[in-house]
Amino acid sequence: MKNGMSVLLSRIATPTRVGRRDFIIVAALAAIAFVVPYVAGTYQQEVGFRILQLGALAAAWNIAAGYTGLVSLGSAAFFGLGVYTMALASNAGLPIVLCMILAAVVAGLFALIVSPALFRLRGLYFTVGTLALAEALRIFVVNSPWFGGQAGIFLTARAPKAFELYWIALAIAVLVIVCVLVLLRSRWSYRMQAVRDDEDVASQLGVRTYRTKLWAFGLSGALIAIVGSVQALNQGIVQPNGGFGISWTIEIVSVAIIGGMGTKVGPWIGAVFIVLLGEFLIQFPEIHMAVVGVVLVLVIRFMPNGIWGTFTLALQKERNFS
């Protein structure tokens, strides 16, 4: 990505200093979110679940795309792996938490297996490669005899109630946030951002680019798979077009870009925006997605740093002047 030092990805919100304050804020917000089921009804819990789910997905995608420059359109592959791992493992009688861990492991292994081919691709070609990979995996699951084909697999585990799902999603959201914050505090974040801004220069400076990309891609995929495994519990039945459907990729990418790529808070802002817009247009799902597309075009053009990135930039300017 030599000449591609894109505005969309680099600079601004980059020097993210993560301090103890961030962890305290997360803990406080999580505590507030925890009591929601006691005061709100099932509908609010379901909307909350959607926000936490999409926010966690976009924040996980952001690790690879926003910080490391691996703009993947293959998120549906990892999501689907999580969905199917949960279905197969929980039907085999494993406890739910173990199934989630297994989903992460499967996704990490998958990232490891495909990385030799994918990481030879730079920039736009990487993006196309991931898109092809996700579609290939979907078609494979549809046609292969082991995964129940188009009809899918029913989960035998007890369907969780709305508040249980909400709490599971909250726990996973906290997990994702903590992963991102810890990552941003570590040296890894510098390596990742160096790879994003110029892979060749980073490599010259002694960054092991392949390993850095693999960790970022694998962690991102593993977290996406964990969220996917919860979606299997939510649905009670897993199907290739639901699990591996490109609509997941579309939602993840839209949420992250609208909120702000490469920012800590952006994905969550984007999730709130898209879920609330979806509730507003609940009668017209196609119109909802078309509007999301229009918003995406406008955001990329006029606010390339997303809602949160633009907001923090404005705040910084204000501070510099005063």
* Backbone dihedral region for residue 12 (phi beyond 0: left; psi -120 to 50: alpha; all else: beta): left
| x/- track of binding to other proteins for residues 142-161 (CB under 8 A) | xx------------------
Report the candidate in 279, 283, 259 with the shortest Cα–Cα distance to residue 269.
259
Stretch that binds other proteins, among 46-54, 92-100, 121-129, 165-173 (CB under 8 A): 121-129
Site for other proteins in 167-226 (CB under 8 A): none
Measured from the CB atom, the residue of 179 and 246 that comes closer to other proteins is 246
Among 37, 80, 108, 129, binds other proteins (CB under 8 A): 129
Among 26, 96, 175, 250, binds other proteins (CB under 8 A): 250
Please state the three-class secondary structure of 222-279 as a single string.
HHHHHHHHHHHHHHCEECHHHHCCHHHHHHHHHHHHHHCCCCCCHHHHHHHHHHHHHH
Site for other proteins in 262-291 (CB under 8 A): 284, 286-287, 289-290
Record the tokens describing residue 292, joined without a space: 């999301």
Please identify which residue in the block is written with the tokens 């790879």. 195
| x/- track of binding to other proteins for residues 69-88 (CB under 8 A) | --x-x---------------
Measured from the CB atom, the residue of 133 and 214 that comes closer to other proteins is 133
Within the chain, how many helices (H) and strands (E) appear?
16, 2
Whole-number Å distance between alpha carbons of 287 and 99: 36
Are 249 and 73 a contacting pair, CB within 8 Å? yes
> Per this entry, what is the length of the chain?
322
Stretch that binds other proteins, among 3-11, 30-38, 80-88, 102-110 (CB under 8 A): 3-11
Measured from the CB atom, the residue of 131 and 192 that comes closer to other proteins is 131
Measured from the CB atom, the residue of 123 and 236 that comes closer to other proteins is 123
Measured from the CB atom, the residue of 57 and 71 that comes closer to other proteins is 71
